Amino acid sequence: MAPKRIFYLFKIFLVYFSLNFGSVNVGATDANEGDAEAAVKCDACMLIATKFSKSFSAAEERIRSVRLSDQQSMEATESVCDSQWVNYSTVMVDGAMRLAGPDTGREASVLDGGDNVWSHRLQDLCDELLAEVTSERMLYEAWASGGEDALEHTLCRGVGTFSACSSDNFGPWPGDDDYDDYDENDDFDYVHDEF
């Protein structure tokens, strides 16, 4: 299929989902309705989209090219989930729990002590999103055609795995939330598992 045709099909796909699925107002999440962590899950998904966007931009700058090859886009994509997700926690904002830390616009609380859990949760969510996309190239094409907003829409405002910002009941965090097996002082390699 010609690249132009794929691009137009992708745009049609985005328009279809934007017309058929609303988005949750993460600022107005009520703990009594739906998932009390809906805003945090949406924040986590949007953070991952931001990280993908930064990775694609850095890769294009590094190779001084307008477009990345399939291999380069795959490496840029996988490097995001392989990176260390440190210095994240939750904070209360206008009565709702929100994710805080680098690239969230909110400063993480050092008193939270949840950094180890959040590093694993964010990496698990990144791994799950990456495992569910059609291809790494699809994420790059979304970014190339619409920037970070298109990535957020693709990863966070769809259905199923991609509904962190379009559903008040996204479901449980991916992976096992029992991270007691990990010792913070151990060399955790931060490399995501291939699915």
Q: pLDDT tens string for the chain (195 positions)?
A: 555 554 444 444 443 344 334 333 333 333 334 567 889 999 999 999 999 999 999 999 998 878 899 999 999 999 999 888 988 988 888 888 899 889 888 887 755 555 578 889 999 999 999 999 988 999 999 999 999 999 999 999 988 889 999 987 777 888 765 544 444 444 444 444 443
**Do the domain assignments include residue 48?**
yes
- CA angle in degrees (0–180, nearest 5) for 156-6-192: 45
- pTM of the full structure: 0.72
The pLDDT score that the predictor gives to residue 92 is: 87
**Do the domain assignments include residue 185?**
no
- CA angle in degrees (0–180, nearest 5) for 103-107-112: 120
The pLDDT score that the predictor gives to residue 64 is: 86
Report residue 92 as tokens: 């209360």
Contacts 24+ apart (CB under 8 A), 6-12: 6/141, 7/141, 7/145, 10/138, 10/141, 10/142, 10/145, 11/145
- How many alpha carbons lie under 13 Å from residue 171 in its C-beta half-sphere? 8
**Do the domain assignments include residue 104?**
yes
**Do the domain assignments include residue 56?**
yes
Structural domain of residue 133, as residue ranges?
33-175
SS3 label, residue 92: strand
- How many alpha carbons lie under 13 Å from residue 125 in its C-beta half-sphere? 29
**Do the domain assignments include residue 73?**
yes
**Do the domain assignments include residue 184?**
no
d(CA 122, CA 78): 14
**Do the domain assignments include residue 192?**
no
The pLDDT score that the predictor gives to residue 140 is: 93
**Do the domain assignments include residue 155?**
yes
The pLDDT score that the predictor gives to residue 37 is: 84
Domain count, the chain: 1
The pLDDT score that the predictor gives to residue 38 is: 87
